[in-house]
Amino acid sequence: MTRQRVILAVLIFSAILAIVLPFTAFAQEEVEEAVVQYRPFLFGGSARVAVWIVAELHLMFAAFVLGVPMFAVIIELVGVRTKDERYNKLAHELTKLLSASFATTAALGGVLAFFLIGLYPGFTHYMANIFHTTFYIYAFLFFGEAFSLYAYYYSWDRLLHKKWAHLLLGLSLNLFGTALMIIANSWTTFMMSPAGIEKETGQLLSLWDAIANPLWNPINIHRLIANVAFGGFVVGAYAAIKFLGATVDEEKAHYDWMGYTGNFIGLAALIPLPFAGYWLGREIYSSSAVMGNISMGGAFSWAFIIQAVLIGMLFIGANYYLWAGMDRIKGAERYAWWIKYLIVMLFFSIAVWLTPHNLPLSGEERSVIGEQYHPFSKFFGVMAAKNAAVNLTILVTFFSFILYRRANKGQTVLFSKQGKGVKIALIIGAAASVALLAWYAIGLPNVKVLEDAIRPYVWPLVILLGIQGGIVIASTILTFFNRGVFAQYLLFGFTIAISVIYMGIYGFELMGKANLLLRYLSVSQVLIVIACLITNTMIDVAVFSRAQSVGGVAWGRMSVRSQYALILLCVTIVTMMGLMGFVRSGLRLDWHIYGVLRDTSDGAFTPSYAYMGEVVGITVLLFLGLVTFVFWLASLGEKKAVEKAELIEEVIA
């Protein structure tokens, strides 16, 4: 009980800070000229770097604490429906990690509040003037999340036979956590796209407009998906380390299954994440063309090349783990011949995705090639090629998962003999896909910003959206006539032909004639791919829902290399979160609040990539060290429980 008391003490202390600080440090009084606006960090250190590191550590732990409850509750629900004790055990173990991490998240939040008050008093006071009402709501929501979390965790055994009540506690935990994230996102996005204020004076006009600024919804969606991916890959790394240290076959089997589940959740969230990231980037550009230009075409352009490398590592690592996992499945050898082709498509797509448009060439090298851009790589450095490449990467990864899912499936059941629920789900999925395509295709020709001279170039996009809708309908009909597998291949083939090949080439034509349409081309590509993913998932569920098993899965029979892949995925996504956090913060340049409150401190400068790499690297190491320590603390209670059980068995014997 000692560890639990320490955690609760830290939690209560952090909660008191969350309540008291808004009333004390954020007192509503005018800032006079004599008030110090900035203070240096300890021993003259950089205040900006100190605040950023603490904020990023808090964000990383918050991502884990917000992401894990979502799939923990879903896993518990699956266990209730299937009556499989493995799911209940896994959900309980995930919640144990969650409870150990929550106090650290709260403590880092308290430290961040102290740092902002002490190092940036003027900025903190201004933000309090705007958002002080949300501070109080945030504090009460924090208490709600804390009570829900510990009630959910410590009532696990007590509510073992009242799972509906326990699941409601888990649902309340997710609701409180999501509400906290949404409120905090309003503060962050306000700094990049301020709204609801008088720009000249900074006076608040509408609190709701300040909260619902142009970037609020995009970052809500992006962070919600990213948190799930982040939590999944961290859980996968935890399972991999436990698997490598396991000596009993039962433990290896359990942690192998846990690692697979973590990778599956991370991968499921990773696939739609580029779509959400594109939406966020587009809205940043729409909000401020300056920030949009410096993000991918200016000061931070090479940071996005680094991001492309990290994204490539995520997709390659996740695919490799899936392919390695097929060794433990009897019958998977039927699909092994696909892997070599998938590898070629995956590596080619990643190569295009990370190719820069403007290579760092010296004057002599530039004179040799005779132009500013490389005559070959310049075609792969533009967004027309990169959009096609990332869509192909997503399709290849999804296809790998489809192969993995059906690897153990043998003889299928006639679709006419499937249950009504499966048929209804297929129809709903196909209808949703067609509705999504139709909604955009109908509205696209009527976009007001399109000039008459370039309006004809939009009709090929409308036609292609219509063709994809027709393919979705045809695939659904084929499934009803017991041709579901053929329908899946048909849908994949047409999606690659339309979204990747044709639209990729058409993008180069639009660059020369109607560059404005590139953003609408990108959205069309995304919607076509999303329609393929949704419909293909429904068809796969419908076709293989009652299929015979070939031979089962030999959990625990995984190579050591596959476990290192899980650890690599964790390190990669942590690094990418740190990198993009640094970029998002840096896009404001020397503004605290873009265009409203300028940053006049000594730290208001755009860092070099070497400096950025050092700060992000230190932050990643700190997070990995802290999360390892927290998980080790959580394991101490488990060891004591095992030792106590063994002692009781010895006494009884």
State pLDDT tens for residues 275-293.
888 888 888 888 888 887 7
Q: Which of 486, 471, 576 is nearest to 532 (CA)?
A: 471
Cα dist from 439 to 128, 446, 451, 467, whole Å: 41, 12, 21, 14
- Kindly tell me if the per-residue pLDDT of 24 is higher than 70: no
Asked if residue 508 is part of any domain, the answer here is yes
Q: How many CB atoms lie within 10 A of CB 101?
A: 24
Split at pLDDT 50, 70, 90, the class of 23 is very low
pLDDT the model gives residue 427: 92
| Residues 69-124 pLDDT 10s | 998 899 999 888 888 888 888 888 888 888 778 888 989 999 999 999 999 998 99
| Residue spans of alpha helices (H) in 481-517 | 484-495, 503-513
Asked if residue 337 is part of any domain, the answer here is no
At position 376, the amino acid (one-letter code) is: F
Q: Token pair for residue 134?
A: 């949300």
What is the rounded CA–CA span in Å between residue 175 and residue 492?
36
- Kindly tell me if the per-residue pLDDT of 19 is higher than 60: no
pLDDT the model gives residue 448: 64
What is the rounded CA–CA span in Å between residue 65 and residue 107?
13
| Averaged pLDDT for residues 227-250 | 90
Let me know: does 471 contact 490? Beta carbons within 8 Å.
Answer: yes
Asked if residue 67 is part of any domain, the answer here is no
- Kindly tell me if the per-residue pLDDT of 525 is higher than 70: yes
Asked if residue 507 is part of any domain, the answer here is yes
- Kindly tell me if the per-residue pLDDT of 26 is higher than 60: no
Asked if residue 543 is part of any domain, the answer here is yes
359 Cβ contact partners less than 8 Å away, ≥ 6 residues apart: 373, 374, 377
Let me know: does 388 contact 344? Beta carbons within 8 Å.
Answer: no
Q: What angle, rounded to 10 degrees, do the helices at 383-406 and 484-495 form?
A: 160
- Kindly tell me if the per-residue pLDDT of 308 is higher than 60: yes
Total domains in the chain come to 1
What is the rounded CA–CA span in Å between residue 73 and residue 85?
14
429 Cβ contact partners less than 8 Å away, ≥ 6 residues apart: 534, 535, 537, 538
User: What is the domain extent for residue 419?
Assistant: 411-548
Query: What's the angle, vertex CA 465, arms to CA 460 and CA 466, rounded to 5?
Result: 95
In degrees to the nearest 10, what's the CA dihedral of 219, 224, 225, 231? 130
Q: Which of 637, 554, 565 is nearest to 241 (CA)?
A: 565
Asked if residue 432 is part of any domain, the answer here is yes
Q: Which of 116, 111, 118 is nearest to 39 (CA)?
A: 118
94 Cβ contact partners less than 8 Å away, ≥ 6 residues apart: 68, 71, 72, 75, 235
Asked if residue 439 is part of any domain, the answer here is yes
Split at pLDDT 50, 70, 90, the class of 637 is low
pLDDT the model gives residue 476: 92
What is the rounded CA–CA span in Å between residue 527 and residue 472?
12
pLDDT the model gives residue 16: 52
More confident residue, 143 or 8: 143
More confident residue, 502 or 25: 502
What is the rounded CA–CA span in Å between residue 490 and residue 527?
17
What is the rounded CA–CA span in Å between residue 265 and residue 260?
9
> Residue 589: left if φ>0, alpha if ψ -120 to 50, beta else—which one?
left
Let me know: does 355 contact 377? Beta carbons within 8 Å.
Answer: yes
Query: What's the angle, vertex CA 575, arms to CA 61 and CA 259, rounded to 5?
Result: 70
At position 400, the amino acid (one-letter code) is: S
- Kindly tell me if the per-residue pLDDT of 44 is higher than 70: no
- State the average pLDDT for the chain: 84
Q: Token pair for residue 367?
A: 């004179």
- Kindly tell me if the per-residue pLDDT of 267 is higher than 60: yes
Asked if residue 430 is part of any domain, the answer here is yes
Q: Which of 80-94, 185-199, 397-411 has the highest mean pLDDT?
A: 185-199
pLDDT the model gives residue 360: 67
- Kindly tell me if the per-residue pLDDT of 581 is higher than 70: yes
- Kindly tell me if the per-residue pLDDT of 3 is higher than 60: no
